[in-house]
Structure 1
Amino acid sequence: MPGNMWDDAEEPGDLDLRILRVGALPVESAPGALRIRLETTRGPIEGILHPVEGGTSAVICVGGAMGGVDGPADGLYARLPVLLADARVTVFRVDYRQPNVFEECVLDVLAGCSFLRGIGAEELALVGHSFGGAVVIKAAELHPAVRGVVAMSPQLYGTADVETLGRPLLLIHGMSDTVLSHEASEDIYRRAREPKRIALFAEAGHSLIQARDAIDRLLAEWLPPALAGAPLPGGREEHDIL
C-alpha cells in the first residue's frame, strides 16, 4: 500500500492482511442472507452478505466509529438489498474488527473487496457513515475495482488525498448535524475531482433519520449507474425534508 495512506498519522509498520478462510451461516431473520466470517491474519472480520444470483455488482457498507451493520437513517444498510434488488446488486454489510482504528478499518473494507471479487463480483461500490465515510473514501483510493463511493455525514480525518480518488463520489450530510458539521462534506466536495455530488438535507441530524426516505431514493437511483460506469449527475444541492 502507498505511503501517506494515513494522512498525518504515524504509518503502521505492517499493513498486510490476508484472508485465510471463509465461514458462512444462514441468517434466520433475513431469508437468503448469510452471516459471514472472514478469518484473516489480523483477526476475524464479520458481516452479513445479501447475495444476488446473476449479477456482477456488489456494495460494501460500513458504519461509524462504533461499527455495526445497520447503518444510519433508521437501518439503511438492511434496506439496501431490497432497494437494489432490481439492479441485481449484492450487499455486504461489514462490521469492523477494531472499531475507530482508522487503518485497521480500511483494511477490513479492502478485505471485503477481495472477498467479493473472489466470489465473482466485478464492480464494487462502497458506502460508509460518519467515521466510515472517511474509511470508504480511503479504501476506494486503494482498490481498482471500486466504481463509486457514498460518504454520509463523513469526518474529515482520512480524506486528505480525496483529490486522488478519481471515482464518482456522492456526499450526503444533514445541515442540522451537531456531531460532524456539514462543512466537513463541503470541504471534501471542494477538494474532490469530478464526477462528484453533494446532497444536503436541511433538517437532518448526524444519523440522517429525518431524511430516511429521500436517502433511500437517492441511493437506489445513484448506485446502479455508478456500478455500471454510466454518467452521473453532479453538483451541490440542498433539500427540505417533506
Structure 2
Amino acid sequence: MSDDAHKITTPLEVLGVMASQNVMLTPTLRHIEMYTMKGLLSALWHEPTTHLFSAGVVTCGGAMGGLLGPGEGLYHELGQILSARGVPTLRVSYRRPNDMDACCVDVAAAVQLLVGSGVERVVIMGHSFGGAVAVRVAVALPDIVAGVVTFSTQSAGCEIAGGLNGRPLLLFHGDKDEILPVEASEVVKAIAGHGDLHIMSSDGHLLAHSQQVILDLLLPWLDEVLGLHPE
C-alpha cells in the first residue's frame, strides 16, 4: 500500500484554498482572508505582544456568523486581553454560516493555523450554533483541543459531547434566553458527563449584560486549562 493511502487530509486541504491574503489592521491584529470555491473564510488574529505561550484560543459565532461573539464584543475584548498575556486568539467568520459541516471545517482550519504558528494547546469557544461547532471540533481533535467554552449553546449537534472524554467544558447561559432555553446547555453538560454551567441572571441569548461576569470566570479557567501563568 502506498504512503498516499495513509495520508491524513488536513482541514486546510479540505478547504481547498485558492488564494489568501492578510493585512495588519493594528500592530497586534491581523485580518486574514482565504478564498475557496465554497466561500470566503475570514478571520481576525490577535497576535501576542509579549512572550508567547504554546497555547491559543479559537472563537466562532452563531448560525448567522460574525466575529464579535456574545456580550458587547466579548471575543474582541478577550483577544486583546490574551494578546497582552502572550496568548494568540483567532476569531473565525464562517464561509457558510449555519452549515454545520462547513463551519466545523472552518474552525478546524483555524486550529491548524494556530498549530502551525507553534501552539500546542487550544481552547475553542462558540456562541449559540457555534457551541455545537466547538464541541464537534474538540471531539475530532483530541490531541490539540484542551477544552471547550460555550455561550448560549444549542444542543443539536452536541450529541457526541461524550467524546470530550473529561476535557474541561465551561458553559454560560442566560436564564432569560429568548431563543434557546437554559435546558439546552444542561443537556450538553449531561451528554458530556461533566462541565461547569454558569447561569447568567436576567440575561438573554446575547448575554449582553454579563460580559464582565463572564470574563471574571473565564480568564482564571483559561489560565488553568491552558497552563498559563499570568503575572
TM-score (norm 1): 0.82
1:50 aligns with 2:49: no
Contact kept, 8 Å, 2:46 with 2:80, in 1: the verdict is no
Change (3 A) 1:171 1:201: same
Q: Select the residue among 10, 16, 24 that pairs with 2:14.
A: 16
Corresponding residue of 2:211: 212
User: For 2:217, what is the secondary structure of its paired residue?
Assistant: helix
Structure 2 unaligned regions, length at least 5: 1-12
Equivalent in the alignment of 2:62: 64
Judge conservation of contact 1:65–1:131 (CA < 8 Å) in 2: yes
CA RMSD of aligned residues (A): 2.0
Deviation, 1:145, is 0.4
Extract unaligned runs of 5+ from structure 1.
1-14, 231-242
Distance 1:84 1:190, change over 3 A: same
Q: 1:18 to 1:57 in 2, by over 3 A?
A: farther
Displacement of 1:208: 0.3
Q: Work out the number of aligned pairs and report it.
A: 213
Query: What is the one-letter code of the residue matched to 1:223?
Result: L
- Which residue identity does 1:51 align to in structure 2? E
Q: Residue 77 of structure 2 is aligned with which of 69, 76, 79?
A: 79
How does 1:1-242 map onto structure 2 within 5 Å?
16-19=14-17, 22-27=20-25, 30-40=26-36, 42-52=38-48, 54-85=52-83, 87-143=85-141, 144-166=143-165, 167-194=167-194, 196-228=195-227
Contact kept in structure 2, 1:133 and 1:154, CA below 8 Å? yes
1:41 CA displacement:
6.3
Q: Distance in 2 between matches of 1:42 and 1:142?
A: 22
How much does 1:17 deviate?
Answer: 3.2
**Conserved 8 A contact 1:60-1:93:** yes
Kindly provide the amino acid, as one letter, of the partner of residue 50 in structure 1: H
Residue in 1 aligned with 2:6? Answer: none
With normalisation by structure 2, the TM-score equals 0.85
SS at match of 2:71: helix
In the alignment, is the contact (CA less than 8 A) between 2:24 and 2:30 conserved in 1?
yes
